[in-house]
Amino acid sequence: MSEGNVRRRATRAARAPLSRAEVVEVALRYVDEHGLDALTMRALATQMGVYPTALYWHMGDKAQLVAAVSAKVLEDIVLPSGHDMRWDDWLSTVALSCRDAMRRHPNLAPVIGSQLAVTTTALPLVERVIDVLERAGFTGQTLIEVYNTVIGFVLGWVTLELSQGPAEGNDEWQQEYEAQLRSANPTAYPALTRNLDLLANNAFLVRWDSGRDRPMDLSFETALDVLIRGLRAKRE
């Protein structure tokens, strides 16, 4: 306990004052390494050689910290240059780029999917997507709806892909579920039974490994293809 204090002091001797940006940075790395549940005001404080209450001065409360950290993930999205590409190619590229950014910080996927995430860090993405959809011919109210279609699809889909089961370490429930799935009544579930080997652990709602370990690359590409084809048809 006093030992902890000593180490803390040692690490932080003659140190520049904390900044909000620095706290968020360290928190992001911490979550990447130790998981979202391990992100604790106290743990982060210890990591930074500071008292927990110091974080409150910079960040407000924990909810705001988490919001700031999740916003930083979207900052990482690489936006292709653009005006030399067709609108549909550009959209595909940026969708894959969003997915990559989220895959780089899978522990934050739940937060990205469920947090409003209003920050100026996302504005470049918004600007470019709106721009390219205008070039595709969408305007006014339809433009907004199509924008929401695209963003909701990409961010939502990948959130689901990266979702996890309870207790990642525990694989008893995995085997139990697989057994339960394979013994499903064939007359009650004929279509499922017909395709069981293809579905098992490969399809949403009937898989036990997360997209973290088992990327759903082909499905995402198909989803993207469906999206683009749908948008083309919508333009008519």
131 lies in the binding site for a copy of itself (CB under 8 A)? yes
Query: Comparing C-alpha atoms, which of 162, 164, 136 is closest to residue 149?
Result: 136
Take residue 192 and report the two structure tokens written for it.
């499922």
User: Which range of residues in 42-50, 67-75, 135-143, 181-189 is near DNA by CB under 7 A?
Assistant: 42-50
Q: Is 109 within 8 Å of 159 (Cβ atoms)?
A: yes
140-179 binders of DNA (CB under 7 A) = none
Q: Closer CB to a copy of itself, residue 48 or residue 227?
A: 227
State in angstroms the smallest separation of the CB of 159 from a copy of itself.
5
State in angstroms the smallest separation of the CB of 154 from a copy of itself.
9
Q: Is 52 within 8 Å of 184 (Cβ atoms)?
A: no
- The SS3 assignment for 223 reads helix
| Amino acid, single-letter form, for residue 133 | L
φ/ψ of 60, rounded to 5, equals 75, -130
Q: Is 167 within 8 Å of 158 (Cβ atoms)?
A: no
| Amino acid, single-letter form, for residue 21 | A
Query: Comparing C-alpha atoms, which of 231, 203, 215 is closest to residue 100?
Result: 215
Find the length of the chain: 236
User: Which range of residues in 40-48, 75-83, 204-212, 224-232 is near DNA by CB under 7 A?
Assistant: 40-48
204-233 binders of a copy of itself (CB under 8 A) = 204-208, 210, 216, 218-219, 221-223, 225-233
**Binds 101: which of a copy of itself, DNA, none (CB < 5-8 Å by kind):** none
Q: Closer CB to a copy of itself, residue 6 or residue 63?
A: 63
Take residue 67 and report the two structure tokens written for it.
């919001």
Q: Is 54 within 8 Å of 102 (Cβ atoms)?
A: no
Q: Which of 7, 29, 184, 214 binds a copy of itself (CB under 8 A)?
A: 184
137-156 binders of a copy of itself (CB under 8 A) = 140-149, 151-153, 155-156
Q: How many residues interact with a copy of itself (rule CB under 8 A)?
A: 88
Residues that bind DNA (CB under 7 A): 5, 8, 12, 17-18, 39-43, 50-54, 56-58, 61-63
